[in-house]
Structures are given as C-alpha cells and as structure tokens.
Amino acid sequence: MDRSIENMRDFAPGEHTRGRSRISTNGHDLQTDIRCYDGQSMMSPDLQDWLDMTHFYDRVHRNKELSTYRHEKTMERMTALTPQRGSRRRDRSRSGSPRLPEVYRYRSRDYHEAPPHSFSRAPVPDSRHLPWPSKSLPPPLPPKPLPPKPLPPKPVSKGDLVKDQRDTHRERQLMLAPRGLSLGERGDTKFFVIKSCSWGHVYDCWDEGIWATQARHVQILTKAFTEAKKVVLFFSVNKSSAYQGYAIIKSLPNARTTRPRWWNEVDWNISHPFEVDWRCKVHIDDRHVIHLRNPLNGNLSVTRSRDFTEIEDRVGREMLTIIEFHAKREAARIQEERDAAKKPAPPKA
C-alpha cells in the first residue's frame, strides 16, 4: 500500500505509466485503476473505496478541502502558542475527511437542507418534506354557536308604569289616625294584603273609598266576604317597603259601583269596583312587622306577600295591633307639625 501511494505522488497529469494512467478532461482528473504487470490492482479495496468516497480524483474539490484543512491546522497551532486565560483546549479527533460545519455534517436526502441558524428566528422545516401521518386527522370541530341576540324589551302595561312618586303633601292632607276596629272572635275576621302598582291609585282610594282588583281574585274575595263578618285589607305599594294603612270591605264587586279615577289607566283584566271603608290612612314602614311569619304563605314574612295573599288570623290580629300603634304615633307627630304651621310667626324685633 505504501508503494502504491508513493507511485501516485510521482505521476503528473497526462502521464501514462505501466501502473496507472491519468487523463485530464474538462479540468477534472479521471484516475484509472493502478495495476501491476500481471493486471492486478496495487491498491487494497479499502484504499480504493476511500479515495472514491472522498473525491480524491477531483482536483478542484481536493484543493478546496486541503486548503480548509491546512487553514484550520494553522489556526490550531497559533491558538496553542497563545493560550487564553480560563479557556480549555478541546481535543479534536483527526480524520481523513475534512471537518465540515455542524449544519452540513449530518444530512438526509429525504429532507430539505436547512440554512445555518440565525439569531432572528429558529429554523423551520419545510412542510413539503414532513412525513404524512399514518392515521387520519380528526374531523374539525364544529364552529361555536353565535351568542343569542338580546331579547326585545318586554312591553310594560300601563298598570305597571309608576307615573307618580310618593306625595307626602297629599298624605298629610288625607291622613286619618286609626279609629279602632272590633275584630270579634277567632274566625270572624279575615285578613288580606293588597299590592298596588301606583301611589296615585292608593291616594285616589283614600279619597274615594273605591277599589278594584284583578278579575281572578273576585272568587276569593266573594268567599271571604260571605264566610267572615269582616274582611281587612292591608294596602301596600310595590317597592315602597311600607304599608299605607288598612280598610274593610263594604260591598262585593258590582258593575253599578262608581269606577275609580285610574280605571282606564290599566290594561289587565280588572274586576268590577267595590267599596271599602278606611280605618287608617298612615304610611308605616314594614320593618315593624317584618318579624311576623305567615303560615298560609309558606311561613314567609308578611312583607313578602303578593296581591290578595291571605294572612293567618293570629298573625293578622298582631299585625293590625302593631300598625295601629305606630300609626297613632305618626299621626300625632304630623298633627303637631300642622298646629305649629298654623301658629302665626312671632313679630320681628
């Protein structure tokens, strides 16, 4: 093997020898097999394969690789002569093939050759060369449903519109202190809560003594008026957190009864009007009776009653007593203010 390599170094381009021949074509050297006089190759199979694999016969490629290798070797010697502080020299294994950059060292024919890494972005493999998955992809998710459109505003009936607010001046004019009421024995009196959607409706009832309820409550009202001696109604305006006094029913709903002033303001099914006798016309906060529980309404507080909710006899009597007590005190205070307003102002000095 040494002899064959030595003979190869002595050959010049275009020379013909008995061991090998070199022919120059288009700047490349085509090397034929080196053979002895008996026709056998002087090189071992391993050496022949190695020279073919490293493109040794290509002069341009060989010169380029040798220049790179010699340049790296010179740089290594210079680095060894001037060692840097804190740095360690790593041994690099020498091989017959030149040292290539990292990005070109490992390559695959099945994938696109990626460029060197840059500091701006990471290398992204070409999607055209990615392997196709063996399993089928899952079906796409259905699109999310759009949010429902907002509902149009609910039409509000005329009876639900609170066109007026609490009128304390009108309350003072129409105020009536409790006159007292004989309830009789247990079962002689029935108690109900009347809910109103307007302050003006209650004030008009204070003045006229006429009321009308929903038509579906007429049967309850008629039964109570027939069975009991007295039917007491506790009036309360929606969201007022108070009671505006109480009255007793004088007659059943009748079409011949004079209609209240607000009759045409409501559009729900209304009953015929009926007469009531007011026994107390004073605004009383419901915090005084919030502790009372009504067994006929799921044992809830009496302040959580609906329109025409019946109140148990014992609870109704206690509620009437509490309202009368606070109504007397409130009426006395208002009367004192009235008297003080009527007194003439003292003469100015």
Confidence band, pLDDT 50/70/90 cuts, at residue 155: low
> Residue ranges of the domains in the chain?
2-76, 168-340
User: Of 93-102, 227-236, 334-343, which has the strongest mean pLDDT?
Assistant: 227-236
Give residue-wise pLDDT tens across range 243-255: 999 999 999 999 9
Q: How far is CA 122 from CA 100, 109, 119, 127, in A?
A: 21, 21, 8, 15
DSSP 138-189: PPPPPPPPPPPPPPPPPPPPGGG-------HHHHHHH-B--------STTSE
Structural fold of domain 168-340: ph1033 like fold (3.10.590)
Residue 319 near residue 191 (C-beta atoms within 8 A): yes
pLDDT given at position 27: 43
**pLDDT > 90: what percent of the chain?**
38
Confidence band, pLDDT 50/70/90 cuts, at residue 227: very high
The first and second tokens of residue 288, run together, are 């005084």
Confidence band, pLDDT 50/70/90 cuts, at residue 83: low
SS3 267: coil
Q: Report yes or no on whether pTM surpasses 0.85.
A: no
Give residue-wise pLDDT tens across range 316-345: 999 999 999 999 998 898 888 888 888 887
Residue 91 near residue 102 (C-beta atoms within 8 A): no
